[in-house]
Amino acid sequence: MLDHGGNLDLALQRFGGRLEEWIDLSTGINRQPYPLPNLEPRHWNALPSRADIESLHEAAREAYGTRAPIVALAGAQAAIQLLPRLWPPGRMRILAPSYNEYTAVLRAAGWDVAEVTTLAALADADLAIVVNPNNPDGQRNDPGDLLALQAHVGRLVVDESFADAASELSLAAEAGRPGLLILRSFGKFYGLAGVRLGFALGSEADVSALAALAGPWPVSGIAIAIGRCALLDRDWAAATSARLLHDAQRLDTLVQAQDWTMVGDTPLFRLYDVGDAVAAQAQLGAARIWSRIFNERPGWLRLGLPGNETEWARLAAALVR
């Protein structure tokens, strides 16, 4: 198992307390989730129908601003797990530091994997991977630069898991071009990571192959019902984007009194260099606030956004100890 945010097991093990006491800021999951719509018995009981799945696809195309072939999967992670089955092994290069599953999954499947630190260094890869905006360092890449890069690589995967509130970065409108595959996460922006829903947008060939590999019922009836409703609610999305941008600045203001430097940001989380991240995580952990640190970067602490005033107050109190 790789290290991930959201691992509250570890928080409890290390710092005690009951699960309900903890505020989990270790992920980039929105803590003001989309309100659950009414669910019909058939969403629980029956196998999802093709018509239901197609209507979810249509809602996702609407939300992401694309007419491209699309397939719903059980989270962006489910798409990552399938990447090695799409193409024969070759040279994979990823703009790093980034989400650690890409390297692990492709290496396990026999790919020649390396991390690079500039877009230019991705050129000539059989498979280039860019998370945009990036997790954990928030790096943003201009969509035009990514399109230019695409001409110089075999395939380009752009992971837009954190792009919902930064839609100017999205290449979804360009999806459908051969060699470009875009992954979207539903659970982060909509605050429903437990539902397991994500999408892959790409060429007809890649999307059909992913759909075949995922099988006839790739997502749950619940995920379909909730996803369709949430993705079509563009007012909620606009209001949430605005709130996240506001709250992210509020977090930056709150931590100004600390001796922390901003390393990078997305609207769903901040990455700070805090000097001694283990100590900072312990200070927050003593107040039952969980954060994400990174073995290979001893100064880095990633913080998601509190979800309500109680959580903001607890974070403020934890920081002044």
Count the site residues for a copy of itself by CB under 8 A.
55
**DSSP string across 153-183:** SSEEEEE-TT-TT-GGG--GGGBTBTTEEEE
Q: How far is CA 230 from the centre of its chain?
A: 17
Shortest Å distance, C-beta 15 to a copy of itself: 15
Nearer to a copy of itself, 81 or 258 (CB): 81
Give residues 63-82 in contact with a copy of itself (rule: CB under 8 A). 74-75, 77-78, 80-81
The overall longest dimension of the chain from CA atoms, in Å, is 56
CA distance 6 to 157: 25
Q: Single out the residue of 14, 151, 175, 215 in contact with a copy of itself (rule: CB under 8 A).
A: 215
Question: 290 forms bridges with which residues in the sheet?
Answer: 24
Identified binder of a copy of itself from the candidate list 136, 221, 304, 306, rule CB under 8 A? 221
Q: Are 136 and 29 in contact (CB under 8 A)?
A: no
Please tell me whether residue 223 binds a copy of itself under the rule CB under 8 A.
yes
Min dist. Cβ of residue 1 to a copy of itself (A): 7
Q: Which of residues 107-146 bind a copy of itself (CB under 8 A)?
A: 108
Strand bridging mode 180-185 / 155-159: parallel
Does the footprint of a copy of itself cover residue 196 (CB under 8 A)?
yes
Number of C-alpha atoms within 13 angstroms, CB side, residue 229? 14
86 binds a copy of itself (CB under 8 A): no
How, if at all, do strands 70-73 and 127-131 pair?
A: unpaired
Pick the stretch among 19-27, 89-97, 127-135, 254-262 that binds a copy of itself (CB under 8 A). Answer: 19-27
Nearer to a copy of itself, 207 or 255 (CB): 207
Under the binding rule (CB under 8 A), the answer on residue 7 touching a copy of itself is yes
- Exposure letters 194-225 (e unless 16+ CB within 10 A, then b): ebbbbbbbbbeebbebbbebbeeebbbbbbbb
Q: Applying CB under 8 A, which of residues 14, 21, 44, 279 lies at the interface with a copy of itself?
A: 44
- Residues forming contacts to a copy of itself in the complex (CB under 8 A) are 1-2, 4-9, 19, 24, 27, 29, 31, 33, 36, 41-51, 74-75, 77-78, 80-81, 85, 101, 105, 108, 187, 191-196, 212-223
